[in-house]
Amino acid sequence: MTHISETELNAYVDGETFPERQAVIEAWLARNHADAAKVKGWRRQNQMLRASFGRILSEPLPPSLASAALNTSGALEPSGGSVAMLSARARAAPAPGPPAWDRRDRVALIAAGSFLAGAGVACLAGFLAGLH
């Protein structure tokens, strides 16, 4: 039987092993009590870590993380207006149209495209004139 690496034992505990390796690892653990104890210890560690940090999820959010504060604290946000006004404005317009940036880009692209097309036609005309 091949040796099971520490990394693979960790992956086994985290449910990250391929299904076909599952039985091989379990057979290894049945024979190697030191590794089996290690795996058991890691599982216990996992439970303790989850239990220890789990309660944070149900804590009430501090005011600094309330959604209104996050909506209005961005540096690029327009200044002026109360928190209530800004969040009301955000709610009233949930899906604004494309920003001015997009429109400018599109105009620039069309202008560049027409210039190139024009230049191409001019070159072709010159070439044809040269042939005659």
Partner 1 sequence: MRENRHPAGDFEGHIPALRRYARGLIGRDHADPVAVADDLVRQAVERERLADRSPWRGTPRLRLFASLTSLNRTRLRATPVTSPQPKSPDRSLGVQDALARTQIDDREALLLVVVEGFSYAQAALILGVSRLCVANRLARARQCLSGPQEAASAGQTPGRPAHPPYLRLVK
Report how far apart the first and last C-alpha atoms of the chain are (Å, whole number). Answer: 85
What DSSP character marks residue 4?
Answer: P
What DSSP character marks residue 17?
Answer: S
Distance, in Å, from the CA atom of 127 to the CA atom of 8, rounded to the nearest integer, reads 69
CB of 115 to partner 1, least distance (A): 20
CB of 60 to partner 1, least distance (A): 10
Helix runs in the chain, H state only: 6-13, 19-31, 33-54, 67-72, 83-92, 100-131
Write out the residues near partner 1 by the rule CB under 8 A.
Answer: 5-7, 10-11, 14, 16, 33-34, 37-38, 40-42, 44-46, 48-54, 56-59, 61-62, 64-65, 67, 70-71, 73-76, 90, 94, 96, 99, 101-102, 105
- Which of 43, 118 has the CB closer to partner 1? 43
- Which of 49, 122 has the CB closer to partner 1? 49
CB of 112 to partner 1, least distance (A): 15
